[in-house]
Structure 1
C-alpha cells in the first residue's frame, strides 16, 4: 500500500509541474516576467535575459497539492506536514516578493538582505515554537556514533542557522539551467529513502512530492531553459530541505546530502575572504559553477558533473544511515 502511495506521489508531483509549465510559461511572457541577468556574471548568460522567471510558483503548487492529496490518502496530514508546508510556502513567499520587486518593480536587487533575513528568521522561530509545544527533541545526533548532544533552548538558534543557511545555500546553487532542479530532486529523493527507513512516511511522501515537482519542472528548465524558478523556488526548496532534515533528526546528515549546496556556499565564502585579505581571488568567479564555466566547460558539462557529485553525496548519506 505505502509503496503505491510513493509511486503515485512522484507521478502526480511530476505531472502537475510538467503539465502546468506549457500553460504558465506563455502567461509569464505576456506579463513580461523576464529574468534580468547580472552584468558582473558570465557574459555567456546575457543571452538568457528575458527568459520567464518565477516558475517556482509551479513547483510550490505541485508540492502543496500533491502532499495534501497523497498524505490524505495515506492518513490525515500531521503536524509535521503542516510545518513542512509552512516553511516551504513561507520561504517561497519571500522569494516571490524578491522576484516581484526585481522583475515587476525593476529593482534589480529585490528585497534587501536585511528584509530577507528578518523574514527567514520569523518563519524559523515560528517553526521552532510549534516544535517546542509538541515536545520535539532538541538533541543533535552525530552520525556514525552513539553520541548526541542536547541543545535545550539553544536549539532555536540552530534551527534559525540551518533554515536560513541552507535556504541561501540552495539559492546560490540556482545559477545554471537545470542545476538546482536536478540536485534538489536527488537530495529530496535521498531524504525520502531515509524518512522511509525511519518509518516517517508522511515526510517521505513530502520529499517524493518535491522530487516529482522539480523533475517535472526540469523538463522545461534543462538547457536551454525555457523558464527559471527564481528565488520563489530556490528559497522554498532550501528551507524545505533543512526542515526535512530537522524533522527527521538528520540535521548533520544534511551536510552530506546537500554537499553540492555546501560546496557552492563555501566557494563564495572563501572567495570573499581571500579577496578582502589578500586582494586575490581563488576562483575565476563564484559560486563554483561559474568558475568551471570560465575555465571553458560547457554549461551542460558543469550541470551534469554537479548532478553526479550530488548523487554520490546522496548515496554516501544513505549508506551511512542505513547500512553502517
Structure 2
C-alpha cells in the first residue's frame, strides 16, 4: 500500500509542478527570445510555428527531478535513470542553445551530437555495470519468463539501444503534442510492467514522469504554446532507454514504443530507398510528415499515432 501511495504522490507532485511551472517558464523563454526555427525543407504549414518558445522540456525535467528527490528512493537504479535523463537532456540543451543563439537550425553538427551521446551512453553503461553486476539478462517478448544473455555483445548492444531510442524520440517530436502523448502512453506501460515485477523504485519514477508529461501537454497540445525541443526529446529518450535496460526489459522497447520504432524505420527506409533509386519511398520522412503531405490535418495525425501507440502498448502488456 505504501508503494501505491508513493506512486500516486509522485505522479500528483510531478503533474502539479509541471502545471505550475508552465505559465512561468514559457514567458521567460519568450522574453529571452528562445523561439523555434522551422526547417525550410519541412511542411509549409509549420512555418506559422516559427518563434514558438522551445526548450520547454526543462519543465518536465525539473518536475520529475524534484518529485523523485522528495518521494523516490534514490537507489542506484533510480540514480542511473535520472543521470541518463539529465545527461541526454544536457546534450539537447546545448543543441537547442546553438539553434537559438547561433540561429543555426540544425544545432550541433551530426558528429558533435553523436560524440556527446556516445559519451553520455558510455558513462551510463559504466555506471549500470558497476551497480548491476553486468546487466547480462534480458526478458524476451512472447516467450514468457525466458531470458537471454549476450555476453561480449552486451556493451555494443546497449550502445545501439540507447542511441537508437534517444534519436527515435527526437525524430518523433515533430507535431504539437505528438511525442509527449506517445511518451505518456509508453512510460505508463513500463510503469505497470515495473509494478508487476515489483521494481517499485523505478515504477515510482516512471509514473512521476507520466505526471510531469501530463502537466506539460497542457501547453504542448495544438496549438502549442511551447515545444519540448531537443532538451526534452533527448531527455525522454535517455529516460526510456535506461529505464528499459536497467529493468531488463530492453527487448520490449520496439514493442511498447512501437511508434518511435516505426518513425525511425521510416527515415532509414527513406534514405536507403533514395540512395538506391533516387526516388522517395514516402512523401516526407519521418512518417508523420508523410501523412501531413497526404492532406491529413495535424490533429488527425497526432490522434492516429496516439491510437497506434495504445495498441502497441496493450500488445506489450498482453505478452509481458
TM-score, length of structure 1 as denominator length: 0.95
The answer on whether the counterparts of 1:196 and 1:204 sit within 8 Å (CA) in structure 2 is yes
Give, in angstroms, the shift of residue 130 of structure 1: 1.9
Aligned residue for 1:40?
41
Aligned residue for 2:12?
11
Aligned residue for 1:68?
69
Looking at structure 1, the residues matched to 219 and 68 of structure 2 have their Cα atoms a distance apart, in angstroms, of 22
Structure 2 counterparts to residues 1-324 of structure 1, below 5 A: 1-71=2-72, 76-134=73-131, 135-145=133-143, 147-321=146-320
Secondary structure of 1:252's aligned partner: helix
The answer on whether the counterparts of 2:68 and 2:208 sit within 8 Å (CA) in structure 1 is yes
Larger displacement relative to structure 2 (5-14 or 287-296): 5-14
Give deviations 1:58-93, integer Å, cap 9, x for gaps.
11101111122121xxxx410011100110000000
Give deviations 1:88-127, integer Å, cap 9, x for gaps.
0000000000000001121222111111111111121122
Stretches of structure 2 that go unaligned for 5 or more consecutive residues are none
Larger displacement relative to structure 2 (125-134 or 271-280): 125-134
Stretches of structure 1 that go unaligned for 5 or more consecutive residues are none
Larger displacement relative to structure 2 (107-116 or 24-33): 107-116
Give deviations 1:144-192, integer Å, cap 9, x for gaps.
2254332224211111111111000000000000001100011000000
The answer on whether the counterparts of 2:135 and 2:246 sit within 8 Å (CA) in structure 1 is no
Give, in angstroms, the shift of residue 197 of structure 1: 0.4
TM-score, length of structure 2 as denominator length: 0.97
Secondary structure of 1:28's aligned partner: helix
Looking at structure 1, the residues matched to 183 and 191 of structure 2 have their Cα atoms a distance apart, in angstroms, of 12
